[in-house]
Structure formats: C-alpha cells, structure tokens
Structure 1
Amino acid sequence: MAKTKPPPEQYATTNRVCCCNVKTAGYIVAIVEIVLCILALYGLFRNFQVFGSPYFFWFFVGIISIIIIIIGIIILILAIVKRKANWVIPHMFSQIFLTLFLFIVALVTAILLLFERYRGIRSLLGQGDYYMSDESTRLLGYLIILVYLAVALLEIFFIWIVYKLYLHLKECERIKNGQFSLLAAYDDEGYNSNVYIAPKNDNAHGGSPSAGDVYPYEPPVTPPPQGYRRAQ
C-alpha cells in the first residue's frame, strides 16, 4: 500500500500559538472580526437613523472601512485554505491601520475630555447638531475611550496571531518547495518515507530533529529502563 505523504505542517516548527494550532487561531481571528464588523455595521445604521444627514459622512466612511476589513478577512481565510503566506499580508496591514485609527480616536477623545470640549466630541462623532447634554457627552467620551482601547488591544493580539500564521505558512511553503530540509533528507516536497524524525522531547532519548538527528528506515530502539537486568 502506498504511503500518503503528510502535509508540510507536520514538519513546520511554527504551528502552535497559545493553546491551539495557528491555523485554528487564524480562523478564530476571522470569526471574531466578522462579529465585530456586524456590530459596527449595526451601530452605523443605528446612528444614521438617529442623527440623520449630518452623520452621512461618517456613515459612508464606516461602510467603506467595513467593506475593506471584510475583504481582508476573506483573503485571510483563503490564505489559510490555500496555504499562501503572502495573502496574509493585506489583512495584517488592515489590522495595523485599524489599530492606529482606534488609538488616535481614543487619544483625541481623551484630550477633548481633558479640556472639556464636549462639542468637539459630538462633532468627532458626527453629532454636532444633535442635542446632548455635557454630562451625557462626557459619559459617551469615557465609553468611547474604553471600547476603542479594548478593541485596539484585541487587534494587537490578533496581529501577533496573524504574524505567527504568516511565519507558519511561509515555512510550509519553503518545506513544500524544497527550500528547507533536514540534512537534505527529503525530496522536493519536503518528505521522504524512508526517513524517521525523532519527535521533540523524545523520552527514548533517540535524538532531536532540532539537533539535526535523522534516522533512516526505522525509529531508534528504545533503551531498557533503568535497573533492568537481562534474564539469566
């Protein structure tokens, strides 16, 4: 029976992040960002319904931003499915841009609150002509800072995950293209059915792949336990 070649992920060393596989983490990032986009879309339509035409500019900018983010999410999912490392880059750039935007808005809001420029906060949100008391505006400003900083920190964590995903997919591409191999023991697709690689932390002390140990044909013989004596 012909042996099925395992995927390059088996030999990649960057396939874990936190407590799960890096590809699974990438899917989780995509799902969470889709949920955030849905919430943002609801907020845009709700604000446009309440504030009317003065809010149209921010409504339009928000819709365009959400479309760009969704396109980035779709490309991220395709990158995971197709194992294309470079396809992850557009999503990573959109994450960086979004994170910077969130920090800037939170910073500007904090400065306006510091100097009690409540009308500036309302104008920042496209609500300049909408009646709102200064007390309500101050509470809204605190809420904006809290939410925007929380989402920005979450996106920073997601950027780290996506970067790990990029490294993982890049390594898989190198293995598949034959640009990376242990002692040239593999064929052009990074696999050789006649080579056994001892797993990391091997209790049998058979060696370590990271040290370059490659065993042809079969695994090393497991040594007998300590205190073992051959029967006479």
Structure 2
Amino acid sequence: MTQLKKYATAAATAATLVAIPTMAHAFGATKAPSPATPSPAAVATSVKGAVTSTVIGRVSEVVGSGTVDGKAWSVVLEFYPTLPKGYTVPSKAGESAAHKSLVCQRTVIGGVRVDSKGGPWSGCQQVNGAHDTHGLGGMALAGLAAKGTSGTRIFVGNPVSEVTRAEITLKSGKRLTADVNVVKGTSFRGFAIPLGKGQTIASVDQYAGDKRLTHDTFWR
C-alpha cells in the first residue's frame, strides 16, 4: 500500500491503537517497534505498479468477530474502488493524494468504533486500486483506552500474501489463533484476535500452513 507512513490521528481520542509502522498506519495506528523484515519472496508479492481495479462498487470482508469480556467485537475491511461521497482528501496525504481508491479498517468493541472521534473516515487510506498492497505486514493492538495497552483489546494484522494464519501465545501459555481473510476481488487481507482484560502477549507468530514465517516478542 502506497505511503502508509501517512495516516490520520484523532486529537484527544480515547480510542487508539499501538502498531508497527506499516499498513496499520492506514488505520489510525501510532508507532511502536518494527517487526522482522519480511522475506524477499513475501515482499515480491506486493504490486508495485499502478493497478486498475476491476471492483465495481464497495466490497467488504469481516476479518474477525465474536465476544470478549462480554462485549461483541468485529473487524471489517472495506474497499472503495472510487473515493466515496463525503470523503475529503487529507491535506497531508502526500503522494497518496492522487490515488482514487480507498481502503478502510473498522474495529468495533462493545458497539464503539475504535478511533471514532477521528471522524467517519478515520482508519482509512487512499490506495492505487484493488491490489495496491505496499506495506503489507502491519500489526496493531486496538483498544478503546490506554492506547491499546490494557483492557479489552483486539490484535489486528494485515499480512503479506504468504501468511495464512496467525497465532498469539499468552504469558499464561494459552494460544489464540485466527485465519487470514481476504476482501473479495482485492489483495487486501487481515486477521483479528481478541484479548480479554488481563491477558498479556508473550509472542506473535505468522504462518504459511505449518511453516512459521515471523516471530515477534515485543507485544504485551
């Protein structure tokens, strides 16, 4: 995804994210330690040229959903082949200002959308068509308070195409897993894993089948 270092941050919002500096920045994330660099083969899967979208209208995919701490949660990826009515190009959009498609990630916990105070288009990024996947590999912790570091949280990832599933190992030893879901007709993909109050991350792994591709231990 092009220019993922450009993102909108809502001032004084209570719903924030902690993330690594890749695709997650398109969805309202703030900076945290970077993970291991993806393999050359993984990087090669992203489309680097201009791509014309074949998607006619808005399409979406539920990345994950369920209940945690008694609260319903969901993460939805949306793709708009053309900039939707009501959307305004951010003044600091940089090179992405010329892109005419939009991808959004909506994380909702207990009926409240994360970063909702940033406006209806917080968590969105302009892209160059349905396959402009520069920057895939981002992960983020989404929460309604404390910058996603405590309370009820959702761990969200937007991995490269090789990744088929993700696994979180908690400090308690319990393992939580999620499959990767793809927005139909596009290359935008993601996974989501809920974390209840008091659950602390020991490691995060991404897999292609049974082959582990990444192993990160800086998440908490």
Relative to the length of structure 2, the TM-score reads 0.17
Structure holding more strand per residue: 2
- Larger relative contact order (C-alpha < 8 A, sep ≥ 6)? 2
Q: Give the TM-score normalised by the residue count of structure 1.
A: 0.17
Q: Which has the higher helix share?
A: 1
